[in-house]
Structure 1
Amino acid sequence: MGAHVSGGPAFIIANLIELTKVDDRLRGLPPELRAATLETLDDIRGAAAVWDRSRKGNQAPEVVGIQDVAVTVDALESFLTTAQAADVLGVSERRVRQLADVGTLAGRKLGRQWQLDPESVQARRLAADISEGSEN
């Protein structure tokens, strides 16, 4: 079963892909899975570019309404603390801060506290699960 993504959702997903540096995180995947995933990412980026061009050309987007974009953007406003991310990843808070400092986990630092992107944390967890599964 496949998933079709176009319009505004593709645009938002493409931006999340760039934000979380997903391409870099795929290096540990088995070659066939990595190739299929990169092909899907390219398709999403292509659909996002089509939607963005139509939006800039003042043409109505085909699939998504402004309400869909607003809901998705609102969902991005929630962040995880280092403690929450550590629980999800099964690592220490110190390790989470290290991953955030080098950009492996997307987020923003406010003072001394990190606010981490939940999608980035989940992507890291998924990559770790896949890597563990390929070793068995």
Structure 2
Amino acid sequence: MTLQDAMDRAAAGIAKATEMGVPQNIAIVDAGGHLLHFSRMADAWLGSIDISIRKARTAALFKMPTAAIGELSQPGGDLYNIEVTNGGLVSFGGGLPVTDADGRVIGAVGVSGGQVSEDVAVAQACVG
């Protein structure tokens, strides 16, 4: 994923968040989970900066939405306590992998600052 692609995705997310009236933090990472671009809207929660980055990283490292990780990491589940690995993961909605035309994961987006459903809606706008 190029920097321009990441910036375009963040702009789409900002437009959706603005439409919803929910200030958001939006992180875009490359396929390895390394931060490529970050945007923080005015009045977005400061505590959500780290959450958005970790959501993006989680989605990239495991090539699946963070909400799916959450389902698999419930007590008794195969991935129980996975969120304490890899320097801290996030296991609730708002992180989505970004794929290319061939279905390969080329990065991920993480959004935080609203209710989980709002974060997911903005992340979906970023992914397109």
TM over 0.5: same fold? no
Higher helix share: 1
Report the structure, 1 or 2, having the larger strand content: 2
TM value normalised by structure 2: 0.27
Compare CA radii of gyration and give the structure with the larger one.
1
